[in-house]
A and B are shown apart, each in its own frame.
Chain A
Amino acid sequence: MTDTIPEAPEESTRELPPVVAEQIDDEVEDAAPFRPSVRGWVARGLVWALLAWVVFALPGNFLSPFQLGVSDVGHASKAAIFAIIGLSLNVLIGYTGTISLGHQAFVGVGAFVSAYVVVDMGLEFWVAVPIAAAVGGIQAALLGAVSLRLTGLYFALVTLAYGLFAEETLFGITAFTGGEGGKNVPRPLGFEDDFAFYYLCLAFLAAVLWVDWRLMRSKGGRALQALRENPRVASSYGINVKAYTLMAFVVSGIFASIGGALLAQQSTFIVPETFNFQLALIFILMTVVGGLRNRVGVVIGSVVFALLEEGTLVHLLHLDGILDSTIGLPAEFFGLVIGPILLLLTITLYPGGIGQQVAPIAQWLRGKKLDLHAGKVTEVEVNDVRA
């Protein structure tokens, strides 16, 4: 048998595989960056214009060639406010990786503080918003300082308890909130009109978007990203993990309070019951379904859920009749039914949420090539949230 074995060559004739690092270099060194043609720019411009029309004109049937059957611009204001709240929650769940189950309390504190300042202290709305933001930031700092000793699920439980405490006790203080009877909140001067108020909400949303964008492009946001992924590595970079988590909490509290202050003005009448646990769930649903860490996604998700809650979306799709008569489900509750289903679909199919699905269009609008797989790099993982 021994003679059947071929003689081994003196040297190995096997060719060595190419060096991996060089291969990667080739991949990274791409050709000249893509530039859209003139026609490409025109197409992009048209889509931008359409988006601008949807945002600025459609809600009031302004410059609209056809009647859509929705003339309540209040719903649009609410959508913009929900977007602010969604971005607020995104700072916590998305950037920091800590889940808050009591966000309705943050929003409620903003709403009642601004209402108190306007109604009981007789000050202007422009003074009330900064005060509401400051109080919101301080309560977030206090809650954070106590509860951030805990992590994960235990932390979430503390926020849940705080939310329930705020709803039942804090907002029940009659002198502060008007108790069960609620409170009338007049709109700021010059913005009594629904349409004008909608623009005001948009301006606040733009400001929040700006801060959110700068946050993620600067020291604080990078620190949050590092500590979410790996707190040990973050601290070895010199990042004070506790302090920056607390900072994220305060930022989130400020955003939520601004949203709350606007919400109080928008409905012109607030009762403590509004800020129940159901609302906190809607906030989480809209943020996660919208797409964590994706500004565009969170805004779209928030708008969808705000319109679902108001029943506008169901009405627009002419589903309200069917829902009400066949199933006996009022349009306003549709959000809570469809929400969990959307959440399941998001977690299993599109971890990046709506943001992942609109990523190709968003990239294209920014002047990049249309790449249908742009959202495929899922930055969001299912086990992302440390809960």
Chain B
Amino acid sequence: MSVLEVRNVNIQFGGVRALDHVSMEAGEWEIVGIIGPNGAGKTTLFNCITGFYQPNKGKIRYRGKPITRLPVHKRTALGIGRTFQNVGLVKNTTVAENLVTAQHLEIGYDPWAGMLGGPATFAEEVGLRERADQLLELMDLSDVAEARVTDLPYGVLKRVEIATVLATDPDLLLLDEPGSGMGPEEAHALGDTLLELRKEFGITIVMIDHHVPLVTQVSDYVYCLNFGEVLAEGKPDVVRNHPEVVRAYLGEEPADAEPARDAEAASEEYV
């Protein structure tokens, strides 16, 4: 049974068809990449899966359970975690505090009990902080635990965001451009981290990224969106060299596929 199943999802904003009969699937333990030019509807698809948008048509299932009409926080409770394109963190606080906030659903005590300050709540708070520290260590972020979010550069925040989503204890991780703001080397390291996370937590990952080397490095399966439609899908190498995909990115059909590949190889060497 697939973890995530999107069937014929349609969504329209005014006259713009943002998603047009989009179907996709993510199986257990898979890493699925979503690529596509700007405005292709990738983030809109994520917003439908996480519940920020209600699709006009179509069904979304999570482990066989229909979730199309569930509110966002209930989907998080089911185990769907996501990051945001423009960094979804509580900015006016520290990194560690964000990870503690993200463990909201893991907290056993009632918010009213927390307000009155029962002794059990104090003990649990210590545990939350410990878990936050563990996750930060895992993501190699222990040094910035006490730093304020606003003081950190974009690339670091992208990693903090992943640590924060992990704190919500997800089964399915939706990453919106995790590699943006990172150099090629950092992006490569991020790819290794993602593979490691899958092994460690047994999670399924769906990621949007423009960084094609990163997507091909880690993905088991890739979807390419363009103008709200699935343009191509398949194994990373197949999608990357798909003529329609190349045209969508470059605007015209390549005269010869070989030079393009050489150029890419060269660029990777340069790094």
Q: Which residues of A contact B (CB under 8 A)?
A: 20-21, 24-25, 27-29, 210-211, 213-215, 217-223, 225-226, 229-230, 232-241, 244, 247, 251, 377, 379
Contact = CB atoms under 8 A, between A and B. Distances in A.
Given A24-B156, A225-B90, A220 B111 contact: yes
Contacts of A240: 71, 73
Nearest to B94: A28
B76 A21 contact: no
Given A214-B117, A233-B89, A379-B92, A247 B147 contact: no
Given A20-B153, A237-B102, A222 B121 contact: no
B73 A24 contact: no
Interface in B121-173: 121, 125, 143-148, 151-153, 155-156, 164-165, 168
Given A219-B104, A236-B82, A226 B90 contact: yes
Nearest to A224: B111
A219 B107 contact: yes
A238 B73 contact: yes
A24 B151 CA distance: 9
Contacts of B168: 236-238
A142 B134 CA distance: 42
Contacts of A24: 143-144, 147, 151-153, 156
B39 interface: no
A167 B143 CA distance: 55
Contacts of B155: 21
B115 interface: yes
Contact of B114 (A219, A230, A244): A219
B91 interface: yes
Given A214-B114, A214-B117, A233-B88, 10 more contacts: A27-B147, A218-B115, A218-B121, A219-B111, A222-B101, A232-B72, A233-B89, A233-B90, A237-B101, A240-B71
Contact of A239 (B93, B104, B114, B144): B104
Contact of B81 (A215, A220, A236): A236
Interface string B94-109: 0001001110110101
Nearest to B83: A236
Nearest to B81: A236
B115 A214 contact: yes
Contacts of A226: 90, 101
Nearest to A293: B92
A91 to B, nearest CB: 10
Range, interface on chain B: 35 or more
A236 B50 contact: yes
Contacts of B164: 237
B92 A237 contact: no
B50 A238 contact: no
Contact of A210 (B77, B92, B117): B117
A211 B105 contact: no
Closest A-B pairs by Cβ, 7 of them = A218-B114, A220-B111, A238-B76, A214-B117, A235-B72, A238-B105, A25-B143
Given A230-B88, A233-B88, A239-B104, A217 B73 contact: no
A220 B115 contact: yes
Contacts of B107: 219
A241 B73 contact: yes
B116 interface: yes
B101 A218 contact: no
Nearest to B108: A219
A220 B104 CA distance: 9
B143 A222 contact: no
A203 B45 CA distance: 54
Contacts of B153: 20-21, 24
Contacts of B151: 24
A233 B84 contact: yes
Contacts of B111: 218-220, 223, 244, 247
A298 B121 CA distance: 26
B142 to A, nearest CB: 9
Contacts of A20: 153, 156
A220 B116 CA distance: 11
Given A24-B151, A225-B101, A214 B90 contact: no
Contact of A230 (B82, B90, B105): B90
Given A219-B111, A236-B88, A214 B116 contact: yes
B52 interface: yes
A222 B72 contact: no
A29 B10 CA distance: 50
Nearest to A235: B72
A223 to B, nearest CB: 6
B246 to A, nearest CB: 31
Contacts of A232: 52, 72, 84, 88
Interface in B51-99: 51-52, 71-73, 76-77, 81-82, 84, 88-93, 97
Contacts of A233: 84, 88-90
Contacts of B115: 211, 214-215, 218, 220-221, 251
A20 B81 CA distance: 28
A277 to B, nearest CB: 30
Given A20-B153, A210-B117, A222 B146 contact: no
10 contacts: A20-B153, A21-B155, A211-B116, A214-B121, A215-B114, A218-B125, A222-B104, A226-B101, A229-B91, A377-B148
B97 A222 contact: yes
A377 B92 CA distance: 10
A14 to B, nearest CB: 15
Contacts of B112: 220
Contacts of A241: 73
A235 B88 CA distance: 11
A344 B100 CA distance: 36
A227 to B, nearest CB: 9
